[in-house]
Amino acid sequence: MNRILAVAEYIFKQSFRNRILNVLIIFAVFAAMFSLAISELAQEAEVKMVMDFGLFAIEIFAFLTLVLSMTIQIFEETELKTLMVIMVKPIKRSEYLIGKYLGVITTVLMNLLVMTAVVMLVVKLKGGDPWDIKMLTSILYSYMGICVLAATAILLSTVSTTVPSWVIYLFFVYALGHLTVHLKNLVKDSAGAALKTIVDFIYYVVPNLELFNLKDKLNSTGGIFEPKYLLLVFGYGILYIVVSLAAACFIFDEKEF
């Protein structure tokens, strides 16, 4: 466990040493603050506008933080050969991957906390409740979705041969993760058996990121924020993370460098 935490700490520090991530944090804060100006366009629903735009900014910038952090790590491992230096140390490959995962999601968490604090401040300035339970739950599940995507990113990094290919795969998974539910509903009654099989395969293999998208359902009355539903989604996320990391560790152990 100490070796895993040491890797996580190394990844976390490396991420924040990079100026790109620092700039990203600044842009994220400005995006959240920009919601103040946006809210003026909807005078009767200023708080709702602030929340909607703030939650959107949090999700997008959390995803970009994940992409940049992982891209930096993969570039250093493949191009600067830092992975070869790490592999000669007394550490298992699985420990390195799990530590890397923890370091990346901790980096995202730090950015997310900063953005959340800004959004809460703006909501407070607009006369809303900064401790709105639905808003905070939505942020928590946005982070859970990023954690699921991070596990997928780790898995993709073990099979990708170049940084550009990894980035393309991850964006493809991100897009599909939000579209699979809609694709499944679209082909349910009108498509042939072959297409339905393909869509079903994608639906069950690609992480269903739309499950974690609660920001579009803040005013829903369909039981979305009921504890039973939230626990099911949380359980799905944990299961997907465990399976993805297990598969990544297996592939990484068999990989030759």
pLDDT in tens, 166-197: 888 899 889 888 887 777 777 666 656 777 77
pLDDT at 257 over 60: no
Describe the crossing of helices 46-78 and 19-39 by its angle, rounded to 10 degrees.
170
Alpha helices in 79-162 (DSSP H): 82-87, 93-125, 133-159
Rounded Cα distance between 183 and 121, Å, is 38
Rounded Cα distance between 10 and 43, Å, is 47
With CA atoms as reference, report the closest residue to 143 among 109, 120, 166, 114.
Answer: 109
pLDDT at 32 over 70: no
- Are 34 and 53 in contact by the 8 Å Cβ rule? The answer is yes
pLDDT of residue 187: 67
- Give the mean pLDDT of 241-248: 93
How many separate domains does the chain show? 1
With CA atoms as reference, report the closest residue to 105 among 213, 252, 4.
Answer: 4
Q: 62 lies in which domain range?
A: 2-254
pLDDT of residue 21: 66
Rounded Cα distance between 1 and 8, Å, is 11
Best mean pLDDT range from 8-22, 39-53, 167-181, 227-241: 227-241
pLDDT of residue 244: 92
Terminal CA-CA length for the chain: 25
- Are 214 and 141 in contact by the 8 Å Cβ rule? The answer is yes
- Are 16 and 22 in contact by the 8 Å Cβ rule? The answer is yes
Confidence of residue 110 (pLDDT cuts 50, 70, 90): confident
Stated pTM of the model? 0.86
Confidence of residue 124 (pLDDT cuts 50, 70, 90): confident
